[in-house]
Structure 1
């Protein structure tokens, strides 16, 4: 499934699924299914993506059933038939939020997880995964504006595959790590390079407001059984700046999860950004400017697009 968090007008965010260019309302479809089955009262459907993730296999199965019902109705009645029944809408009529608008805690990140990126930054490939975090308040939805804050003069981009944990755990063996994955999305690890250098670490320069664009969808793990098989690209104003493949990660997703979970309990809904390939602006001398349109793309997930604006 291609799950989304979306809004219609000023209504509260809802959990949906993208089918082509249509957004299905999963709560409404689950209720419709219950009525068809003769249930006097439908069980409440998860109100947020975090609730859906925390609901485990039963919640995911309900979501899958709702999506399948939506597909049948879409085929029988078309998108306007769904709109009339309050069960969905064309994607152009809704506003996508980040799949998880506010993660339960800091976003975990991997530094220098592609050998070519480490080399372009003048560093050796690390012998062990290098972790840092970004604050959850930095998360920005698809189409949101990346603010070029006054405290920086060196704004950069980094396209990354992001892993969302489904089943929590501690000391997770690498051989079982992918069983703990709920799904995958895209993160642009926006970075103030001068703050990075000034403070001697990565947290501050990567945690400014709007510095964690995430989305556009959360693809469930069953649709990406091997996360090391994906093309990963970033464009600025239509020009390709990064182009690589997740097979080139130094530490694959399963190993990242295993090492991170050593003595540290991962929770449902945790987000892990798995590092960026070569081609960042700090290496090429082509940093971001106000007005730039940035498109981060990962095969089988989609395109996360944002624009850089003045503060």
Structure 2
């Protein structure tokens, strides 16, 4: 395995497997991993089991991170998988101001009478109004779309315009229902990286425009959500509202924006979601993607492309695109 970018802070959590194929929850400290299923008395089978006892186990993890006499394994001898398998995925849409402005311009109808400048000004005013009205937009994703941070991403044969969307993801620590914005971050265990791939051609229904968006079709193909590599505890991230989100395509920087451009921060999103749906340990809250998607650049994903996504302090994920063969 190539050298992996290290997370910030004393440790992180991840899901790993040795050559025998057994998956286990691991404590990551620099270039080594501790199998938590072996050292914790209750033998957690996965990271979600660890998160379900987060407040109890967090102090223990801090102690374990400094215990050199334990049976640590070399990170480069292990396979790295998606750090957690959530029960629910909540995805914030239209949450980066510049991103939405760019998309509006890119999706303009050919007969739109507005100039580019007029279109940008109009959607900028809409975004300002949304922020003032304090009403996030959230939809639901499928856990089956999750794949590992170094796995190949299969581009379905039917996907005409597959695109990237790198995002900060918050990982929930404990059940959260109708929590306030002020208390919301107490329910966040940590943060990880998600790439929320989207087929731009199927975002909007073609058969009946009034139906609106089709999130099932455009975002939830198997492997369309590369996740990880690690979960970095919230205590190691000084401010989730001030992180750099960067995606490179074949070495060229395409997205490079601060989470400061989000309309609604992590606390507001967690609180908003919890007013309707109870959040559970291990659930993901994806916070939206910044400007710089392929539809903006006029360059969509294709066979052989390599995406490298990083967020300040959370490491780096690298995934290669592989085109699915069309049925004969």
Provide the TM-score with structure 1 as the length reference: 0.87
Could you tell me which residue of structure 1 aligns to residue 95 of structure 2? 113
SS of 2:185's equivalent in the other structure is helix
Instruction: Answer yes or no: is 1:164 the counterpart of 2:171.
Output: yes
SS of 2:292's equivalent in the other structure is coil
Could you tell me which residue of structure 2 aligns to residue 104 of structure 1? 87
Could you tell me which residue of structure 1 aligns to residue 110 of structure 2? none
SS of 2:263's equivalent in the other structure is coil
Q: CA deviation at 1:226?
A: 2.0
Mapped contact 2:36–2:44 kept (Cα < 8 A):
no
Mapped contact 2:199–2:218 kept (Cα < 8 A):
yes
CA RMSD of aligned residues (A): 1.5
Give the counterpart of 1:278 among 291, 295, 302: 291
Q: CA deviation at 1:64?
A: 2.6
CA distance in 1, matches of 2:193, 2:158: 26
Q: CA deviation at 1:28?
A: 3.4
SS of 1:68's equivalent in the other structure is coil
Could you tell me which residue of structure 2 aligns to residue 39 of structure 1? none
Q: CA deviation at 1:61?
A: 2.7
Mapped contact 1:163–1:183 kept (Cα < 8 A):
yes
Give the counterpart of 1:179 among 186, 190, 205: 186
Q: CA deviation at 1:29?
A: 4.0
Mean Cα deviation higher: 175-184 or 225-234: 225-234
Give the counterpart of 2:201 among 175, 194, 198: 194
Mapped contact 2:302–2:323 kept (Cα < 8 A):
no
- Tell me the alpha carbon deviations over residues 271-297 of structure 1, each in whole angstroms, 9 at most, x when there is no partner: 010000000001221111110000110
CA distance in 2, matches of 1:138, 1:10: 25
State the structure with bigger RCO (CA 8 A, min sep 6), 1 or 2: 2
SS of 2:264's equivalent in the other structure is coil
Q: CA deviation at 1:11?
A: 3.2
CA distance in 2, matches of 1:228, 1:263: 24
CA distance in 1, matches of 2:196, 2:189: 21
CA distance in 1, matches of 2:90, 2:20: 31
CA distance in 2, matches of 1:44, 1:171: 31
The 5 Å alignment of 1:18-33 reads: 18-30=28-40
Q: CA deviation at 1:18?
A: 1.8
Mapped contact 1:26–1:67 kept (Cα < 8 A):
no
* Structure 2 gap segments, 5+ residues each: 1-10, 105-122, 207-211
- Tell me the alpha carbon deviations over residues 158-195 of structure 1, each in whole angstroms, 9 at most, x when there is no partner: 00000011121211110111011011000000011111
Q: CA deviation at 1:67?
A: 1.9
* Structure 1 gap segments, 5+ residues each: 31-42, 74-81
- Tell me the alpha carbon deviations over residues 192-226 of structure 1, each in whole angstroms, 9 at most, x when there is no partner: 11111336312320001110100000001111142
CA distance in 2, matches of 1:27, 1:265: 28
Could you tell me which residue of structure 2 aligns to residue 77 of structure 1? none
CA distance in 2, matches of 1:306, 1:266: 29
Give the counterpart of 2:54 among 45, 53, 56: 56
CA distance in 2, matches of 1:116, 1:229: 16
Aligned residue-pair number? 283
Could you tell me which residue of structure 1 aligns to residue 120 of structure 2? none
Provide the TM-score with structure 2 as the length reference: 0.83
The 5 Å alignment of 1:195-274 reads: 195-198=202-205, 200-201=212-213, 202-274=215-287
Q: CA deviation at 1:137?
A: 0.4
Q: CA deviation at 1:104?
A: 1.4
